[in-house]
Structure 1
């Protein structure tokens, strides 16, 4: 890394601050990268600069959050420096740590070919454990339990430590799941016995490997002389703890570069903490941390950038910065205050139609962003009304969501109880002890008698408890029909959701996904209410 080494041509593509962030290799570096400021270019050029200065590629560890980001990073580096990029350890936290764990598996009592459980595997195992422990499935909702365990792991809380924290135990007790710690403990035992890790374990076991095995820790501290972390504002406590294990030790050069933006932290629900990026300066201040702020936005016009700056000033915890743009004033941002979500949806559709006709634009020239999936319903209805084709990205159409189909199935049964597909969908939702074996007997009896399934529900020769459940379901559906005949659609829908137990089931799931489902169903109810009110006018 001699000062006389000529600078590569790619350095000329950078502005002065980017150039400093790229070429400052020694010691801790924090790059605060505002939106559209060339963050990816800085990361890839920094690695390219290292390689051009003689740093062996295998000594570089670049951690990203998505496989796509890692792949794009490698491709960009390769375009700049050629095949040398192939030796760089670049990938997601999970993929790279899985690679290391397979190499070092014997140290933590795992086979090198351990299985990685996905979400469905995790939920299936937890469901079996909850069933075997004879716990109430409503209180020990598998999604809630999985989320609770995942959050604990992100905080470096093992089952043993969990059991020693009164605050967590009290929270579980208040939520009517006092044995959650036992479920957590048994889950970890069963995973270990099966030679399996879930995604959170890939991080937790990596930390334990570095924490408990000095030789292994020194091996990787020595190998990775340069560590880079992308989207640092989205790291959780566990991920930052692993990074510190790799770079924060006696005699370390602490060549660690983290890139992120405190103002773009949006993954708190996954355990990410903005505190990491705020603490980095404090943690590495004794070692001469250098901070570079990328404040030049190359993506947006001045009006957009200045509006964003103004909003961000209200953040209570932040790294002060002022993003600027030289792309001209641009069009002014219009803020339209609608009186209702219906008016909002109509005005969005109106504006799209107006812009299409005025400027001869295509449908693909427009994008509509919304905060929650439940909000798409109104937008979709108005786009359909104007025959404007659309695609929903990052989620499914409002009416294709499971919870919406469930509610509509109940409403269909109220109107037409012999609707077999609707009946099959909800007869055991929420759980009523009517499983596949029972339904097979019901279907067989109905077929032999030549009658709809609904009509024979209370005639099936099954155990008393199951027979009672079938008869109760039939009586409930008949009551739903009576309510639907007497009340308006909104009152009937509210009644059915309440008496069926479906709404209560949703409310017991406090995970982010569960809350989203509640919002989606609330959106459907709002749509029904609006329909009733409009019909009465």
Structure 2
């Protein structure tokens, strides 16, 4: 460790940052607003642990949510502790779970080596389940002559979301069945109170809803068995309570009418009001069946998907004390970044790593309830308040010195966010977070709020304002989604306004670059005779620049099933298959692998993107991507990525 550099960095910490760095032992929750230096805090705290204790760097575990955050944290550590930074375990939750599975294979999948599943095989498995396991009148059996089963992609997306939220198939089915029991009883109450009701007079409507609510509370319903998820009963009744309160406050029935439109619907059978969710019961139950069978089939064939890793590790930690104790002994200090974004299953990993009845865990969680961006994946701000309940001796430190913004920006942000209900301060008033500007070097400015009648009017206003500003000024356009930035970039191009737009700084995640990397990965498997990379072929054949339709790929997939070892021999079957394009690609890949043994990576790249012809075959990669670009900026981004 560079002691001088470490001491220098310590000097720049403010009082509360220093307090968090020095609090080494025991549970610590740091509530860190934006721009308060939490990334610096994490790095210096790791260095301080190594400086003040005899802890091995490999006994420290840092968990975060993105690869870029993990890379940033490691780079900061390298500047502090040198090569020891590579020994500290800095991972995303997925990468950590992947590492656990790789380090302890005997605890997972009965010791077998599983492979990541591709989309073609996912579709094959789901199709098989629909045919064999679902009733003939199931909505999931809807079929298109050209596309096959209509809902396969939706089913896969729902399964993906359930896994991200940490809900296992057996638990999902229990939730559906328990919710339906409540729905049946609640619908009887709706029939009793809401038939023929008019929402014109709030004086008549409010008493009706109060009686409805009183009776609904008497419905017997089991508490949600899945921790971290609210029961349907509690969710519905809370919404009704809030709508009643809002109607009483404004002396109008509007909130109750909006509630009715949002969560009730007329039954097709008798035109009575019912819960919207109850009309989808059969679909939910079928989804539960497909989810359960999909997991079984993947295990049977030796496949896993990305979202399986966290659920599988949680399950094994809950049922295998040996694995749990091994990991608890290995990781003596745990630091979690962006804690507000943890979902239930990720929280279960943390609990299992710190569930020690003898020793108090050395765990620090850093988060900001106002910055949660993964709520759609089951992230819960409640995890921050639960942290204090789980770890009774928790020390709480609130970082409130902002080094990134002016007081004007902070005040504007505060006035906006204070209306949000899902805030930590509403549960724990002592966690009030009043950020104050602490960087005098930042130039002050004005915030102007402007409303427009349309998006196009807004884009035009922005472009005109940019033209008014001197060229030597720095201008940034910030948007919630790339969709809006892409639209305004076209207008800026049309107005001949120079700009720089980077959609993703990680070029390896760009579609056109990922395709090249996948082809290179497959070439490596040919050269080194690794048949386990055969699973990449369905994806490679689907690349648009090869010009093979989904129907042709599907036919080839059906053809491969007839082979003895169809799940592993796509490449060998391509050679003699009755389709010229597929045979051409086979020859191209064989020739590429041969050239790769004696030519440079740059030369191989030229063949892949179509700069050079290889044995009378020229890749249409470059031709395809240039033909799809609408403007010179798109072409420039393509070239930059390459």
| TM-score by shorter chain over 0.5 | yes
When structure 1 is superposed on structure 2, of 191-200 and 173-182 the one drifting more is 173-182
2:308 to 201, 217, 237: 201
Distance 1:57 1:339, change over 3 A: same
Show the counterpart of 1:74: 74
Matched, 1:301 2:406: yes
How far the C-alpha of 1:236 sits from its partner, in A, is 0.6
How far the C-alpha of 1:250 sits from its partner, in A, is 0.8
Asked whether the equivalents of residues 334 and 363 of structure 2 are also in contact (C-alpha less than 8 Å), the reply is yes
How far the C-alpha of 1:367 sits from its partner, in A, is 2.7
For residues 63 and 9 of structure 2, the distance between their equivalents in structure 1, rounded to whole angstroms, comes to 23
For residues 257 and 292 of structure 1, the distance between their equivalents in structure 2, rounded to whole angstroms, comes to 11
Matched, 1:268 2:367: no
Matched, 1:179 2:286: yes
Matched, 1:89 2:89: yes
Asked whether the equivalents of residues 115 and 195 of structure 1 are also in contact (C-alpha less than 8 Å), the reply is yes
1:226 to 333, 349, 354: 333
1:330 to 424, 444, 459: 444
Show the counterpart of 1:412: none
For 1:371-450, list aligned pairs within 5 A. Answer: 371-376=480-485, 379-390=488-499, 392-394=501-503, 435-436=551-552
How far the C-alpha of 1:267 sits from its partner, in A, is 1.4
For 1:92-171, list aligned pairs within 5 A. Answer: 92-111=92-111, 113-117=113-117, 122=122, 125-126=125-126, 129-130=129-130, 135-136=141-142, 141-165=151-175, 166=177, 171=277
How far the C-alpha of 1:337 sits from its partner, in A, is 1.7
2:361 to 248, 251, 254: 254
Matched, 1:343 2:457: yes
Asked whether the equivalents of residues 317 and 352 of structure 2 are also in contact (C-alpha less than 8 Å), the reply is yes
What is the total number of aligned residue pairs between the two structures?
A: 392
How far the C-alpha of 1:89 sits from its partner, in A, is 1.4
Show the counterpart of 2:466: 352
How far the C-alpha of 1:259 sits from its partner, in A, is 0.7
How far the C-alpha of 1:13 sits from its partner, in A, is 2.2
1:59-101 Cα shifts (integer Å, max 9, x gaps): 2111111222212212211211222222211111111211111
Distance 1:123 1:280, change over 3 A: farther
Asked whether the equivalents of residues 482 and 503 of structure 2 are also in contact (C-alpha less than 8 Å), the reply is no
Show the counterpart of 2:321: 214
Asked whether the equivalents of residues 62 and 336 of structure 2 are also in contact (C-alpha less than 8 Å), the reply is yes
For residues 62 and 345 of structure 2, the distance between their equivalents in structure 1, rounded to whole angstroms, comes to 17
Asked whether the equivalents of residues 59 and 225 of structure 1 are also in contact (C-alpha less than 8 Å), the reply is yes
Q: Could you list the runs of 5+ residues in structure 2 that have no partner in the other structure?
A: 1-5, 135-140, 184-276, 426-431, 505-510, 512-543, 545-549, 556-642
For residues 88 and 494 of structure 2, the distance between their equivalents in structure 1, rounded to whole angstroms, comes to 53
For residues 94 and 109 of structure 2, the distance between their equivalents in structure 1, rounded to whole angstroms, comes to 19
Asked whether the equivalents of residues 37 and 298 of structure 1 are also in contact (C-alpha less than 8 Å), the reply is yes
Show the counterpart of 2:259: none
Structure-2-length-normalised TM-score: 0.56
Asked whether the equivalents of residues 62 and 91 of structure 2 are also in contact (C-alpha less than 8 Å), the reply is yes
Asked whether the equivalents of residues 295 and 324 of structure 1 are also in contact (C-alpha less than 8 Å), the reply is yes
Q: Could you list the runs of 5+ residues in structure 1 that have no partner in the other structure?
A: 1-6, 396-400, 402-424, 426-433, 440-537
Asked whether the equivalents of residues 78 and 84 of structure 1 are also in contact (C-alpha less than 8 Å), the reply is yes
Matched, 1:369 2:470: no
1:146-176 Cα shifts (integer Å, max 9, x gaps): 3322333344432222222215678596176
For residues 264 and 107 of structure 1, the distance between their equivalents in structure 2, rounded to whole angstroms, comes to 36
Q: Secondary structure at the match of 2:424?
A: coil
When structure 1 is superposed on structure 2, of 87-96 and 122-131 the one drifting more is 122-131
Asked whether the equivalents of residues 115 and 302 of structure 2 are also in contact (C-alpha less than 8 Å), the reply is yes
Show the counterpart of 1:16: 15
For residues 369 and 236 of structure 1, the distance between their equivalents in structure 2, rounded to whole angstroms, comes to 28
For residues 124 and 348 of structure 1, the distance between their equivalents in structure 2, rounded to whole angstroms, comes to 48
How far the C-alpha of 1:394 sits from its partner, in A, is 3.5
Asked whether the equivalents of residues 382 and 424 of structure 2 are also in contact (C-alpha less than 8 Å), the reply is no
Structure-1-length-normalised TM-score: 0.66
Asked whether the equivalents of residues 110 and 195 of structure 1 are also in contact (C-alpha less than 8 Å), the reply is no
Q: Secondary structure at the match of 1:330?
A: coil
Show the counterpart of 1:459: none
When structure 1 is superposed on structure 2, of 196-205 and 163-172 the one drifting more is 163-172
Show the counterpart of 1:40: 39
Asked whether the equivalents of residues 33 and 39 of structure 1 are also in contact (C-alpha less than 8 Å), the reply is yes
Q: Secondary structure at the match of 1:164?
A: helix
How far the C-alpha of 1:49 sits from its partner, in A, is 0.7
For 1:226-245, list aligned pairs within 5 A. Answer: 226-245=333-352
Q: Secondary structure at the match of 1:179?
A: helix
For residues 168 and 262 of structure 1, the distance between their equivalents in structure 2, rounded to whole angstroms, comes to 29
Distance 1:155 1:343, change over 3 A: closer
How far the C-alpha of 1:55 sits from its partner, in A, is 1.6
Q: Secondary structure at the match of 1:63?
A: strand
When structure 1 is superposed on structure 2, of 379-388 and 69-78 the one drifting more is 379-388
Show the counterpart of 2:206: none
Asked whether the equivalents of residues 165 and 377 of structure 2 are also in contact (C-alpha less than 8 Å), the reply is no
Q: Secondary structure at the match of 1:315?
A: coil
How far the C-alpha of 1:24 sits from its partner, in A, is 0.3
For residues 40 and 102 of structure 1, the distance between their equivalents in structure 2, rounded to whole angstroms, comes to 29
Show the counterpart of 1:443: none
